[in-house]
Amino acid sequence: MEVVSERWMVLFVGTDPRIPVLAQHRAWPSHPVPDAHAAHQWSIIEGIVDIVTGEGPVLTDRIYELYVRASGGRRVTKPVRDIMDKATETAIKKGLLEQIRHNVAGRAVRTVYLPGTPPVVLRRRGDRELEHIPPTEVAAVAGHILTEDPQISDTELMRTLLTAFERVRLTSNATAFLDDCITIAHRQQP
């Protein structure tokens, strides 16, 4: 997989040689943005593009949470999600962003990234929750592990992915998310 910049490359500190080199995750440097309830759509689009520029590729769920926190809010409500979805769709239609759609854990999720940049970048978890890592990113790591060890069981693959993404506990949410990512990885294998 292509990585955005060599300067962000780091070798994962784990001992499993099947885990590929993962770039450092760069978190968006938070700064105040307008409240989605009161802002003009273009102001919201600028905030979304700024977040994607800082962190992309990134899931829309994470974009919306970062935006709401930066605007002084606490959580993404249904009305705010609708406003953010419309702004994201407009940014995509205007060519400011591109997207990958996924069906993960029984719901539709989207990864957005800037045009002309890689849609998948292998990165460490950083400050992201496991479920906020784009599924194609996790699937690419899983695919690499499957190539290195074609006989690996899905259970062992799941545990290896937890190690790769610096997570210890396999919760029910993590299991559902990783199951879907592993399915994507299996579909992409030759």
Task: Give DSSP secondary structure letters for 45-74.
Answer: HHHHHHHHHHH-SEEHHHHHHHHHHHTT-S
pLDDT at residue 105, as a whole number: 63
Domain limits at 138? 6-24+123-188
Q: Is the separation of the CB atoms in 143 and 4 below 8 Å?
A: no
pLDDT along the chain (190 residues), means of 10: 38 71 95 95 98 97 97 96 97 97 77 97 95 95 96 95 91 92 90
pLDDT at residue 13, as a whole number: 43
pLDDT at residue 169, as a whole number: 86
Domain contains 80: yes
Cross-strand bridge partners of residue 23: 9, 123
Residues 155 and 98 in one domain: no
Burial of 153 (0-12, 13-18, 19+ CB in 10 A): exposed
pTM of the model: 0.88
Last residue of a domain, one of 83, 113, 143: 113
**Count of the separate structural domains present in the chain:** 2
Domain contains 127: yes
Q: Is the separation of the CB atoms in 70 and 31 below 8 Å?
A: yes
pLDDT at residue 6, as a whole number: 39
Cβ neighbours, 10 Å, residue 65: 19
Residues 105 and 160 in one domain: no
Residues 16 and 52 in one domain: no
Last residue of a domain, one of 64, 89, 113: 113
Helices (H), ranges, the chain:
41-55, 60-70, 78-93, 135-148, 154-164, 172-188
Domain contains 152: yes
Beta strand 9-10 with 22-23: parallel, antiparallel or unpaired? antiparallel
Q: Is the separation of the CB atoms in 48 and 87 below 8 Å?
A: yes
pLDDT at residue 106, as a whole number: 65
Supply 5's token pair: 């910049």
